[in-house]
Each structure stands twice: as C-alpha cells, then as structure tokens.
Amino acid sequence: MEPTHSNYITNTPIAEDGSFEIKLDSTVSKGMYRITYAVPQEEYNFDVIYNGEEDIELTFNPETGVKFLASRENKLLESYTNSMLMITNSIGNYYRDGNETKDTLALASIFKTQSNTQKGFEAASKGTIAYHFIKANTPYIPNKVVDVETYITHLEKHYFDHVDFNNKTLQHSKFLTERMLNYVFGMSSQNGDEDDDYKKT
C-alpha cells in the first residue's frame, strides 16, 4: 500500500477447499499489504503486515473477518486491538450504567488495566511494524477517576496526541484515513452535533 494508492503485486487462485497461497519473493518490500477477494475491491479486502521474515497463516470469513494463525506481528496487532476494544467497552458500560458516583475503584481499575495493556503491547512490539500502529492508537487514559463529560472532552482533545502524520509506516496504510474518519463520525455520534464536528475538523 502506498500513501495515495495500492500497487498490484500478484494474484493466486483459490482451491476447491477454499485455501490459497501467495508466494512473495525477496524483492517485495516490507509493509502493509491489502488482500482483495471480490469486487468492488474497495469493499472486499483486508490488510496484513508483511515483514519479510515470517510466513503469514490466516483464516478469513466475510462475516467474522480475519483470524491470524501464524505471524507474530499480525497476531500482536490483532490481540492488541481485541484487548483494547474490550477495555473500551468496559469503560462505556461503566458510564452507561450510571456508576460514576457509586464504584470509583472499579473505574480506576479499568483505567489502570488500560494503561498497563498499552504499555505491555508497546514493549512486546518494539522493533516491529506493528509497533507503529499500536503506539499511534494510544487512547486518552485518565490518571484519576473523571465524570463522563470530562472523559469525552479529553478523549476528543487528545485523540491525535500519539499520531505522527509524517510516519512513513502509517502513511503506507489505511490507518491515518480511518483515524480521521473515526474522529469525525465517532465524536459527532457522542455529542450529537455532526455538522459542527465536521466543520471543526
């Protein structure tokens, strides 16, 4: 993937049992690659990290998405994404259930888990392509318990704190585009004023 387009590399047939194998030679660059499996290509695709050092094994289902069986980098990023999503859901459930004044220790524990998870995955992914995405995806994590309004305000304010728009690895992926779209539509859905948010960005 390039910053403005994708370069075609190769294709492969899908066997009767649904399996496929793509072989890349040593001239292929490390980076983010997009596998397309139907048309329109913009809709039917998924991305993988290729570091030139390990085979990638995966299963794919259009309904459930990609599951990596082998490839340390892809499994790291997949595990990070799933872990942080569960924590984010816990935070959302806490605020949604109106627990703000009832069990502040629970919320503090969730934030501590979030912080430790972020640090743990950054340490585990040091020196890999996956690290760039894990670091750039660092969320706002309060160092104390805050009410929901304060949390959302700071979530918006610090959304891009760890995103380096000059990072070549991020530029050669869909990350920056998706990050900006999530900011526009995610924040507008939280405060209900989509027009104002769109103008601000």
Whole-prediction pTM: 0.88
Instruction: Let me know if residue 23 belongs to a domain.
Output: no
Instruction: Let me know if residue 26 belongs to a domain.
Output: no
Instruction: Read off the amino acid at residue 73.
Output: E
User: Would you call the peptide bond into 139 cis, given omega within 30 degrees of 0 as the criterion?
Assistant: no
Instruction: Let me know if residue 150 belongs to a domain.
Output: yes
**Rounded Cα–Cα distance for residues 149 and 168 (Å):** 35
Instruction: Read off the amino acid at residue 113.
Output: T
Instruction: Let me know if residue 93 belongs to a domain.
Output: yes
What are the pLDDT tens digits along the chain (201 aa)? 998 888 999 999 999 999 999 999 888 999 999 999 988 988 899 999 999 999 999 999 988 999 999 999 999 999 999 999 999 999 999 998 876 556 789 999 999 999 999 999 999 999 999 999 999 999 999 999 999 999 999 999 999 999 999 999 999 999 999 999 999 987 655 554 434 443 343
Instruction: Let me know if residue 182 belongs to a domain.
Output: yes
What would the pLDDT profile of 10-30 be if each residue is shown by its tens digit?
999 999 999 999 999 888 999
The β-bridge relationship of strands 57-61 and 65-70 is antiparallel
At 60, give phi and psi (nearest 5°): -140, 135
> Which residue range(s) make up the domain with 140?
73-189
Instruction: Read off the amino acid at residue 69.
Output: L
Tell me how many domains the chain contains. 1
